[in-house]
Amino acid sequence: MKKMKVLTILLAGMMLSLSACGGKEASPSASPSENATSPSASTAPSATATPEQVPDLGGRVIKVSAWWDLKPAGNTAGEKARLEKIAEVEKKYNVKFEFVNVPFEEYMNKFTTTVLAGEPFADIVQMEYKSALPAIVKGQLLPVSEFTTPENNINKEHNLLEKLPSIAGGEYAFDNPVVLGLGMHYNRDVFKKLGLPDLQELYAKGEWNWDKFLEIAKQATKDTDNDGKIDVWGFSGWSLDIVRHLTVANGGVTVDATNKKEGLSDPKTIQALEFVNKMYNVDKVVKVKTGNKMDWNESNTFKDGDVAMFTAAEWMLPDTKFDFGVVPMPQGPSGSKEATYANTAQSGKFIPKGVKDPKLVYQIFEETFDIPPTEEYAGQDYLESLYKHQEDIDMVRQHIAKTGVTTLDDAYPDYPTYAFIEDVLVKNTSVTAAAEKYKQQAQAAIDKLGQ
C-alpha cells in the first residue's frame, strides 16, 4: 500500500453523515425546471476548445458553496495541482472562483430565500439528498441535462466529475468520482482478545449473515473481569440507522422514494426491525451508553473500545484509538450482495434554478478538475487516511462501494420512521402492530411532498 496521506478536502458524496444530528450530510429530487440559457451557455466550449472559442466573462465570480470550505487546502499533490488548475481556468475565462462556507443550520434557509428571489447565493451548491428532494419537487434545482452537453467529460469519460444516483426520477447531482461506502466495522483488538473469528474470513466463505452476526455479538457480550457487570459488548450504533441498513441488506427500503410508496409495512422492513429488537431487548447484545436506545450519540459509543462490532460514518473513524476492520453489512434472508447498506448520507453538488449561463458555469467548474492523476484510483488518499490495512481498503473498493441504496426518510416531513422504531425498541410494541399504526402516516407524508 502506498504511503498514507491525509486528505483535508472532505469528499462529499459521502459525508455521511454530516446530516444526522444537525450538521452532518446531504439529499435531492423531482421535476425538471424551466431555465432558458443564453447562446453563450448553449455553446459552452469543451476542455479542448481553441482560444478563439473561449468567452471572456468579464471578471464574473463563480460561487461554489457548502457548509465547509471546499477550496483545496494545498496539502497534497492533488490539491496543489487543482489550485494551479483553478488559477489557469480563472485566467482563461476571466473569472474568479469564490468558495462560500455557510453554517449548516443556515444553509437551506439561505438557499430557499435566494432561489425564490431569483438570485441564488451560489452557482454550484453542495446539498444533501434529503434536502434536495423537496427542492427538486418545487423546481428549484436543474437536472444535469440542462447544464451539460454531450461533449462534457461527465457525459463521456466521467473521470473528472460523475453523475450521482438519480432522485425524483431524474439526474440532478454530480461530484468527484470516489470509492467509498458504509459497512460493519469491527474492533480487531476485541476480536483477538476474545478469540472471535475474523469477519473478513467469514465473508469470504459466504457465512456473513444475520445469524452469524448475532451469534458473534452474543459471544462478545460478557463480563470479562468477573465483577458481575458486562464490560464488553457485541454491538453499538444508532438504532435508527441500523434498522435502515439491515432493511436494505434484507432487500427492502424504509421508504421507496422512486415509487412514492411507504416501506414501513414491507415484510422485509418488519423482519429487519424484529431482528434489531431481538438484539436490543431479547439477547441484549447492544451497548447503550446514553441509556436512550434512540439517541444519535450512540453512533460514537464504539470509541470507548469495548464494543466488538459497530456502524459509523467514515468521518468518525480518523480518531479511533484501536485497530479496526470492515466488512459489508451482514446479509439478511432476502438480501443480496448488490445492496448492502442504506445511504442516508448521500450528498452532491447541484446547480440552482436562476443561475446565469449554467452550461458555461458547469463547463468551467469541470475544467478545474482536469489535472494529471495523483492517485491510483479515485479516493485513494481518503481511503488510506481511514484504513491501516490493505485488506480493508480492498473490502471497501471491491465489496462495499456502489452497494448503497439512497434512503430518504428524512426528506419527507412527518415521515414516522423514528416513532415506528421507538414504539418497538422502547415502548415494547410488536413490530406488526407498529407498522399497522404508522403506515398511513408514512404514505401521507410522501403524498404531501408531491402536492
12-179+345-374 has which CATH code?
Answer: 3.40.190
Predicted confidence at residue 52, as pLDDT, reads 58
CA-wise closest residue to 273 among 417, 80, 126: 417
Distance from the Cα of residue 11 to its chain's centroid: 10
β-bridge mates for residue 352, sequence order: 141
Give percent of the chain with pLDDT exceeding 90: 82
Q: Which tens digit of pLDDT belongs to each residue from 35-53?
A: 332 323 333 344 444 445 8
The answer to whether 12-179+345-374 and 184-344+409-449 have equal CATH topology is: yes
Count CB atoms within 10 A of the CB of residue 346. 30
pLDDT of residue 365: 98
Q: Are 317 and 386 in contact (CB under 8 A)?
A: yes
Q: What is the pLDDT of residue 1?
A: 44
pLDDT tens by residue, 190-233: 999 999 999 999 999 999 999 999 999 999 999 999 999 999 99
CB 189 within 8 A of CB 322: yes
What are the grid coordinates assigned to 362, written together? 458547469
Which residues have C-beta within 8 Å of that of residue 288, sequence separation ≥ 6? Answer: 236, 280, 295, 298, 301
Residue pair 376/312 in contact (Cβ under 8 Å)? The answer is no
- In the predicted model, what is the mean pLDDT of the chain? 89
pLDDT attached to residue 407 = 95
- DSSP 3-state assignment of 387? coil
- CB-CB neighbours of 264 under 10 Å: 28
Q: Which long-range contacts (CB under 8 A, 24 or more apart) does 255-258 make?
A: 255/407, 255/408, 255/409, 255/412, 255/415, 255/417, 255/442, 255/446, 257/29, 257/133, 257/167, 257/168, 257/406, 257/408, 257/411, 257/446, 258/169
CB atoms within 10 A of CB 218: 14
Q: 184-344+409-449: which CATH architecture?
A: 3-Layer(aba) Sandwich (3.40)
Query: Which position has the grid cell 432558458?
Result: 36
For the segment 401-431, what is each residue's pLDDT rounded down to a tens digit? 999 999 999 999 999 999 999 999 999 999 9
Q: Are 395 and 326 in contact (CB under 8 A)?
A: yes
Residue among 355, 294, 270, 345 nearest 315 (CA): 345
56-92 pLDDT, tens digit per residue, is 999 999 999 999 999 999 988 889 999 999 999 999 9
Domain locations along the chain: 12-179+345-374, 184-344+409-449
Q: Is the pLDDT of residue 20 over 60?
A: no
Q: Taking 50 as the threshold, does the pLDDT of residue 116 lie above it?
A: yes
